[in-house]
Amino acid sequence: MFESPQTPSRFDELTLNHVELYVTDLATARTAFADQYGGHHLADHESADGAHRSTALGIGRTVLVLTQGLSADHPASLFVRARGDGVADLALRTDRVREAHASALAHGARDRGAPVEENGAIRATIQVFGDVRHTFVTPPPGTEGHWVPGFGSLPSSPGSTTGLTGADHFAVCLDAGSLDEVVRFYRTALGFERTFSERIVVGSQAMDSHVVQNTARDVTLTLLEPDITAAPGQIDRFLKDNDGSGIQHVAFATEDIVRATAVLRERGVEFLSTPGAYYDRLTERITLERHGLAELRAAHVLADEDHGGQLFQIFTRSTHPHNTLFYEVVERCGATTFGSGNIKALYEAVETGQSADRPR
């Protein structure tokens, strides 16, 4: 499926500016992303009122901002008390902040910050699902490279030491009954395109999925909704443990997933394991081109293909206290969407990992 925006896109220039996570302890989170995922320290910032402090890290082309609330009523403090550490803001860069903000509100988004101009920069914030926000950002005129509110211009991040090249997509778990509404919002308010749809049935469980992307293809949201008429599964558990909709995982891209996973394991990242039977059947449905069966089996990497080519992916074991947020590593070899085999494999892999983690 490929569906263009329901109205002509007025925001073709809209791109990912940065990803912000609210964290309980900034030093701990910064060390984890730096030591395990190879995040390169770019800058630090503390608000003038002492309400929060943040660190900006570079993972490939993506700027990751980690923020700890220092006052009880700061949004970061409220977020982590309710949900623990998590993705709180997918900030979007656009030359037309005011127009984007107005369009979002007109199509049902909640206002979390009217447009503000300061030193030539403009920002505004909305909320679409759960406690996750989009901050629209226009940097000061003449700004080149990364610019983040509070930090200003950031230095370029050097080459990755782990092989991660930046964010590939964000998986969003939505409350039952809200999927169509959220898809409609991104298409009509921000001009995203729906590029894939899928219904996944795994045993007695089921969920529906739509993928929406911006024109630049650097913001990809995999939107997931549980089927409440089926048995509860991982999406239902996330919604319960997260107290509602939110970002379940962030996928990082790599150009060599076998090498990247080996480096990440050496740095202490734990991945979900895949049953051997998966690899016994793999070559019956795919003629592997980039990686051999033996190295995929040894690395526990999943493989699938679509009309454009093949993709390989693996999921980390969640270290979150609520067993919610986790990460993915994905290598695309021509594949541009999410084949049904891999979406089902994602669901089954997470089911296997979370079942093993639950007390017996």
Look at residues 358, 319, 346, 4 and name the one whose alpha carbon lies nearest to residue 186: 4
Residue 8 has which token pair? Answer: 């002509």
With beta carbons less than 8 A apart as the criterion, state whether 330 and 253 touch.
yes
With beta carbons less than 8 A apart as the criterion, state whether 213 and 197 touch.
no
User: In what helix (H) or strand (E) does residue 164 lie, and over which residues does it extend?
Assistant: strand 164-173
328 is in an annotated binding site: yes
Count CA atoms closer than 13 A to 181's CA, side-chain side.
10
351: three-class secondary structure by DSSP: helix
264: three-class secondary structure by DSSP: helix
249 is in an annotated binding site: yes
Cα dist from 51 to 68, 126, 305, whole Å: 9, 21, 47
C-alpha 148/C-alpha 20 separation (Å) is 10
With beta carbons less than 8 A apart as the criterion, state whether 67 and 54 touch.
yes
C-alpha 115/C-alpha 122 separation (Å) is 7
198 is in an annotated binding site: no
Residue 49 is which amino acid? D
Query: How do 326-333 and 246-254 pair as beta strands?
Result: parallel
State residue 142 phi and psi, 5-degree precision.
85, 0
* CA 241 to chain CA mean position, Å: 18
Look at residues 91, 89, 143, 145 and name the one whose alpha carbon lies nearest to residue 119: 143
Q: Which residue positions form the known binding site?
A: 169, 249, 328
Q: Which residue positions form the known binding site for Fe cation?
A: 169, 249, 328
